[in-house]
Amino acid sequence: MKIYIEDLCFKCIIGILDHERKTKQKVVINATLKYHFDGDFINYADVVDLIKKTMRKKKFLLIEDALLTLEKKIYKNFPTIKKVTIKITKPSILPDCKVSVQQTTKLIS
């Protein structure tokens, strides 16, 4: 089974530039979570809540650090998940494009 979280939008502090440390900016997060369904389901609302709370609390400097932290928290809180793909987009950081970083990991058992 796969859970798709698409176009999750909210504001948070993320980035290394001075104005990014002072003013919340919009981020868009897409995630794919692969797991083996054996009767126990994963509440996708809980996953969304974890992502938003983590991003808002940590105020990451780098998207890369945010990705690695989210990945670890998802595996820890949802042990049936075996593969995670997360993409974080900053749609407004540059005037003529969106900027994204993506990470895919497979849990090694």
- For the chain, what are the domain ranges? 2-106
Amino acid at 63: I
Taking the C-alpha atoms of residue 82 and residue 18, their distance in angstroms, rounded to an integer, is 37
* CATH fit for domain 2-106, picks 3.30.460.10, 1.10.274.10, 3.90.76.10, 3.30.1130.10: 3.30.1130.10
Average pLDDT over residues 39-62: 97
Burial of 31 from C-beta contacts in 10 A (0-12 / 13-18 / 19+):
buried
The whole-number pLDDT of residue 107 equals 76
Q: What is the pTM of this model?
A: 0.94
In three-state secondary structure terms, 106 is strand
